[in-house]
């Protein structure tokens, strides 16, 4: 079955390649850390990203969505550059920007879920919901690593993410059930980006 939904196709392609960039970044991030617990946590997050990429590839193959070669190359390079930079930019910035990245990634999966619903497809709800929630767990973890940093207030003002300022409306303490997952991220800006991609 081929998807007749350009915004969903673009979102699948972007998320698929984006997960590789994130995983590459976390390889360098983990290697740059000295604390064994933090190193193990970031490595687990890297594994989660590879699993998400595998899940997305399964959806893409099922619905005949081609991998974007341009995004694969572009985000491969970006991921490798971020990975290398983690060794020279200190402890705070890798955690901060990883948290902001994950904060936006949360909504990709709930918007994806909603796009599938627009096509009458509900069988992927649980998988997409769980991936979105896993990204939220990542965001929360990274925020906790920088919450007490003196740099956080400045970076929060500059980049609009931090303590009390998320790019999604998911609350892990008050999670909506899977069947209501499409209600998350109604104002997510990826929708407008996807629309621009179609032009």
Q: What domains are defined for the chain? A: 6-193 (1.20.1260)
Q: Are 75 and 17 in contact (CB under 8 A)?
A: yes
Quick one: pLDDT at residue 180?
Answer: 94
Place of tokens 């970031």: 42
Q: Are 53 and 131 in contact (CB under 8 A)?
A: no
Q: Are 135 and 188 in contact (CB under 8 A)?
A: no
Q: From its phi and psi, is residue 176 left (phi > 0), alpha (psi between -120 and 50) or beta?
A: beta
Quick one: pLDDT at residue 189?
Answer: 63
Neighbours of 161 (CB within 10 A): 22
188 is written with which tokens? 């997510």
**Confidence check: pLDDT of 190 > 60:** no
Does residue 187 sit in helix, strand or coil?
Answer: coil
Q: Are 111 and 190 in contact (CB under 8 A)?
A: yes
Percentage of the chain modeled with pLDDT above 70: 94
Quick one: pLDDT at residue 188?
Answer: 73
The pLDDT tens digits of the residues spanning 57-104 come to 999 999 999 999 999 999 999 999 999 999 999 999 999 999 999 999
164/58 Cα distance (integer angstroms): 35
User: Average per-residue pLDDT in the chain?
Assistant: 93
């Amino acid at each position: 079955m081929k998807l007749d939904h350009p915004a969903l196709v673009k979102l699948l392609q972007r998320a698929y390649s984006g997960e590789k960039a994130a995983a590459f970044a976390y390889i360098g991030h983990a290697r740059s850390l000295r604390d064994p617990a933090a190193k193990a946590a970031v490595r687990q997050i890297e594994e989660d990203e590879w699993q998400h990429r595998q899940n997305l590839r399964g959806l893409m193959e099922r619905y005949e969505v081609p991998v974007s070669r341009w995004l694969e190359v572009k985000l491969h390079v970006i991921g490798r550059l971020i990975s290398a930079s983690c060794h020279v930019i200190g402890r705070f910035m890798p955690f901060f920007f990883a948290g902001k990245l994950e904060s936006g990634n949360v909504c990709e999966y709930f918007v994806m879920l909603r796009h599938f619903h627009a096509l009458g497809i509900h069988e992927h709800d649980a998988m997409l919901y769980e991936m979105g929630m896993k990204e939220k767990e990542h965001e929360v973890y990274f925020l906790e690593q920088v919450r007490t940093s003196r740099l956080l207030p400045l970076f929060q003002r500059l980049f609009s993410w931090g303590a009390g300022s998320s790019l999604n409306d998911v609350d892990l303490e008050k999670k909506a059930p899977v069947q209501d997952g499409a209600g998350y991220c109604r104002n997510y800006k990826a929708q407008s980006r996807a629309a621009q991609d179609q032009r």
